[in-house]
Amino acid sequence: MGKDLDFRLSKKLDHIAFIMDGNGRWANLRGLPRHLGHKKACEIITSIFKACHEQGIKVVSLYAFSTENWNRPQDEIEHLMDYLEEYFHREENELSAMDAKVVFSGDLSRLRKSTFDICVEALTKSKDRKGPIMNICLNYGGRDEIVRTTKRLIKEVQEGKLQAEDIDENVFMSHLDAPLPSVDLMIRTSGEQRISNFLLYELAYAEFIFTPVYWPDFDKKELIRCLKLYEGRNRRFGGLKNG
């Protein structure tokens, strides 16, 4: 195990994304209410974020709450928002010590006021930091982001700030909720094998790894196992070049 933890990634990996799945099932297996799975899920975020930073990964995206998750029971939603607020109160000093920048993807306007205010505070406090970036995808849907991005571009064209003929992939990317490098690796926990409307534009050439481990049990050892799998992938980006 010690040898595994000494692993150092050599392949380029600027942006890693996680679908943090299996929290409810983790709790059910232990005879606990589902919401305690979300509580545990929030408690491990910083340790995984730090482990990614140790590997030289610059951006970590986390699928915290989707546009479809509003269909869940209201008490579960309220608990999840509680835990998110607690996370920022608890981890702000740790994130500050890492010089970590917090950004958000998703439409935050639908969040309850206390959660919205905490998110804005985290965004404001960290906006000038130069360290690793934590992108929290909250009230997020990939299709919704693409639609909202298109509307932003249309508005800029109508206002004369942008010429329609100048819109290309790079311009579109720069108008997404959080303009970040494309995702290199997406990991989904819990054994499910789908992307569930997550970062549809940003995942264009990402490698996918699906692990059976539930997110609350996902640790540095499992992260390194996934990074080793990624290291062995041959990323051709549509061409024939190895690497």
Active-site residue set: 21, 69
Among residues 167, 169, 185, the alpha carbon closest in space to that of 227 is found at 185
How far apart (Å, rounded) are the C-alpha atoms in residues 49 and 45?
6
Q: Where are the alpha helices (DSSP H) in 13-128?
A: 23-29, 34-43, 45-54, 74-97, 113-126
DSSP-derived secondary structure letter, 182? P
Cβ(185)–Cβ(13) below 8 Å = yes
Euclidean distance between the first and final Cα of the chain, in Å?
A: 28
How far apart (Å, rounded) are the C-alpha atoms in residues 102 and 110?
19
Cβ(41)–Cβ(216) below 8 Å = yes
Query: Phi/psi of residue 192, each to 5°?
Result: -70, 145
